[in-house]
Chains A and B, each alone.
Chain A
Amino acid sequence: MSEELSDAAAPAAIAAQEEAGAAPRAPAGFKRVYAVWFRHFRVYSNFFFANATPAIFEPLFLMLAVGLGVGNYIKQTFNGGLDYASFMAPGILAMTSLYTAAFEASYGTFIRYMYQKTYHGMLATPLTRRDIFLGELLWCGTKGMLFSSLVGLVLFLFGKVHSPAAVLIPAVGFVTSVAFAGLSFFVTSFVNSINHFQYYFTVVLTPLTFFSGLMFPVQELPANLAYIAYALPMFHVIETFRLVVSGPEHSSVPWAWACPFVLVGMAVTLGYIGVRRMEGKLKP
């Protein structure tokens, strides 16, 4: 193929532009955010299974090995009559939503920022910095919604779902992922090397997950330790999932009804802070 461009080809191509007439207008804010969301959806649908693997299978293996495997030897019941695997089910869903968002908004965001320069390309279009990270935040929520639903379906097949309110799993998954995407944006905004995320995952997220009522009832800890667990964001996520998966009669604490509100509050606050931080990182 010739590398030569002909002057003759140009007028036809450009003339077509002028027919379009009026000055182009920028799309409305929500359409711009949707466009970013759709970009992620488009990329993601190319690699569905590769992407889904860690966030879905790790929690499911935990369920199989610990919930059903170890649980088989545990004759005691939990939270008002639940078998061990049923007790663990909400935590498994919480973990799925958390890790889905955390991976996407840390490693994923950082790679797009540092190596692929995806955002720099987006900035040459009508998108603002806020559009870019709001779209990404909503995408993280969407991914959390999809994955928690899939895991929820598996738990249902295992017979570990006990309440019809479980149809709300996608909604709780969405809000949880938005909250942790916000937190992860916040962390990503300080990170200059991709290796630093290992600290975030091992020092912050892992203990957050395991000391919030995933594996054992934290309300039975000595009072001071229990209060610490109640202060962790993950406790509220797990209790919210417990409300919809097992029903309020199996809640860990009498005030569990407040947990969904705390969760929504966290999603809004962390989402806002995270997006603001990332806007600042993509320097003007």
Chain B
Amino acid sequence: MSETARVPLDFKPSGPPAIEIENLVKRFGALAAVDGVSLSIPRGICYALLGPNGAGKTTLSRMIGAVSRGDAGKLTVLGRDPWREQSEVKARLGVVMQDEVFDEDLNVLRNLQIYGLFFGRRGEAYERKIREMLKFVQLEGREQMPIQALSGGMRRRLMIARALLNEPELLILDEPTTGLDPQVRHAIWATLRALKAKGMTVLLTTHYMEEAEQLADLVGILHKGKLVVEGPPSGLIAKHLPRFVLEFDAHKDGAALDAIAAKSAIERHGDRAFVFHDSEETLRGWATASRLQGSPVRAASLEDVFLKLTGRTLDE
């Protein structure tokens, strides 16, 4: 039925899933941006949706976030139909969108106050919550700043703080760290790990392998609207590839290409050549024999899995 190659989760989740999707389709004219995706996300885990630009990550998370409606298939979020029961579902979600949308006409504090009102929250307890969350993302003291005066990293952190104000059961983050410097990225990862440790279910979309490897219990790779593989990061790599990879430039090191081809299969993607093997020693031996520069041998990564299955790199 589904063409997704699946590796089972390495622990047994309990209770009903947070998100359940069956053959979900979303079309824009002739284009099927999400083309028959099926997946199930247990409560309490972090699920990372990986995929190149235009894969359908945002389209899928918007449907899950009850902002957009699927054209076919079945979608259940926190036990409800997110389109039919929009308000009820959204009341229990925290959403960090790909582009930060704040109310540009209001300052930081007013933004958070009005946001609360949309959830029916206000008063002293909510004000306390605002202070707490601003402190949590290290933005205390910025209450009176206009939104336009915040840097990109501050805005993203404010988005995360805002998404937590309504005590969500499910947090949806669409590329939370794209375009941020490594420091802020690590800070956001720390935040997400802390939330996960408290049992929150997190759905994350990203272009970054490292992000998925750092945070996710389950990774799904989306390509042209289809979920091509799914599984825990380590399991996925083990299932699809030998442990190590030798990567080099097929044009510059044409001689190596011929020498190694005699010993093993080589995968070519554009200028790059990839040789997979379970023994790091063997690969190093071949690299030295062909006088390849630098250290071209490394552990096989999710990116290699993606490349193998789709013939494309993730940031393409």
Partners in one complex: yes
Q: Are A127 and B87 in contact (CB under 8 A)?
A: yes
Q: Are A24 and B198 in contact (CB under 8 A)?
A: no
Q: Which residues of B contact A35 (CB under 8 A)?
A: 114, 117-118, 120
Specify which of A14, A36, A116 is in contact with B105 (CB 8 Å cutoff): A116
Q: Are B137 and A5 in contact (CB under 8 A)?
A: yes
List B residues 129-167 near A (Cβ within 8 Å). 129, 132-133, 135-138, 153, 157, 164, 166-167
Shortest B146–chain A CB gap in Å is 11
Shortest A111–chain B CB gap in Å is 10
**A123 interface residue, CB < 8 Å from B?**
yes
Specify which of A1, A10, A125 is in contact with B90 (CB 8 Å cutoff): A125
**B194 interface residue, CB < 8 Å from A?**
yes
Specify which of B97, B132, B183 is in contact with A13 (CB 8 Å cutoff): B132
Q: Known contacts A24-B91, A116-B105, A126-B86; decide if A5 and B190 are in contact (CB<8 Å).
A: yes
Q: Which residues of A contact B120 (CB under 8 A)?
A: 25-27, 31-32, 35, 126
Task: Mark each residue of chain B from 85 to 103: 1 if its CB lies under 8 Å from any CB of chain A, else 0.
Answer: 0111011110101010111
**Among B117, B137, B169, B198: residue with most chain A CB under 10 A:** B117
How many B residues, CB 8 Å from partner? 54
Task: Mark each residue of chain A from 87 to 108: 1 if its CB lies under 8 Å from any CB of chain B, else 0.
Answer: 0000000000000000000000
**B308 interface residue, CB < 8 Å from A?**
no
C-alpha gap A118/B67 in the complex (Å): 14
C-alpha gap A6/B197 in the complex (Å): 14
Q: Known contacts A35-B114, A43-B106, A125-B119; decide if A7 and B153 are in contact (CB<8 Å).
A: no
Q: Are B97 and A120 in contact (CB under 8 A)?
A: yes
C-alpha gap A122/B197 in the complex (Å): 29
Q: Are A23 and B92 in contact (CB under 8 A)?
A: yes
Q: Known contacts A4-B187, A24-B166, A26-B91; decide if A10 and B103 are in contact (CB<8 Å).
A: no
Q: Which residues of B contact A220 (CB under 8 A)?
A: none
C-alpha gap A132/B185 in the complex (Å): 34
C-alpha gap A36/B114 in the complex (Å): 9
Q: Known contacts A32-B118, A124-B97, A126-B91; decide if A7 and B166 are in contact (CB<8 Å).
A: no
**Among B92, B105, B132, B135: residue with most chain A CB under 10 A:** B105
**A193 interface residue, CB < 8 Å from B?**
no
Q: Which residues of A contact B102 (CB under 8 A)?
A: 121
Q: Are B190 and A7 in contact (CB under 8 A)?
A: yes
**A42 interface residue, CB < 8 Å from B?**
yes
Shortest A282–chain B CB gap in Å is 10
Q: Are A117 and B67 in contact (CB under 8 A)?
A: no
Task: Mark each residue of chain B from 112 to 130: 1 if its CB lies under 8 Å from any CB of chain A, else 0.
Answer: 0011011110000000010
**B284 interface residue, CB < 8 Å from A?**
no
- Residues on A close to B: CB < 8 A? 1-7, 9-18, 20, 23-27, 29, 31-32, 35-36, 38-39, 42-43, 46, 116-118, 120-128, 283-284
